[in-house]
A and B are shown apart, each in its own frame.
Chain A
């Protein structure tokens, strides 16, 4: 999987929008961008995947610019329960058979 860089930690308050950016300068043409979320004392959970432009689901939105060298996970109106570690993974679909998790971004949401 491609190397990714994301902030180690972020702080926010309830009700705010949080944007976590992931850099992946060496992304290949057939690579997809996938995000996982890990709550304290739980295993990671898939939240969203995209290839280009914008993807939205009930949990988050994923924005991918035209050059695809970065992506932004957007969490609207966060709550305390969004406190978690967020991992960005980049690779071809079949490459995700073997997930390689980096250090992720630790998001702390405060009241």
Chain B
């Protein structure tokens, strides 16, 4: 398996623009997680899905953020409108049967100017 795939790897956009981050989990994994990492706040869980259903979105910063998982092999994290404080590395992770073992993607480095 290729592991968790994220795209784009880098995104530079201007404040106010819509940003869409994409994730393809490992085949067969039934849980998917979105994290954000910054120097100031460390690694934060934004939202996670079990069997394509959002379970906990308490980490989503505000209404500008939304996440979807239309099927078992694809998820998106959208920011609209984007702001400079959204600049961070966004990771997607997926998990199979072992609760403690999540597999992280390479991340998307987002810069909002």
With A and B bound together, what is the CA distance between A85 and B4 in angstroms? 20
Select the residue from B48, B55, B95, B100 with max chain A CB neighbours within 10 A.
Answer: B100
Least distance between B13 CB and chain A CB atoms (Å): 20
Cβ 8 A contact of B45, one of A32, A100, A104: A100
Are B100's CB and A101's CB within 8 A? no
- On chain B, which size bracket covers the interface? 20 to 34
A72 contacts B by Cβ under 8 Å: no
Q: A92-111: which have CB < 8 Å to B?
A: 93-104
A71 contacts B by Cβ under 8 Å: no
Least distance between B87 CB and chain A CB atoms (Å): 16
Are A43's CB and B42's CB within 8 A? no
Chain B residues close to A by CB (< 8 Å): 4, 31, 33, 42-43, 45, 48, 50, 55-56, 91, 93, 95, 99-107
Chain A residues close to B by CB (< 8 Å): 32, 34, 41-46, 49, 89, 93-104
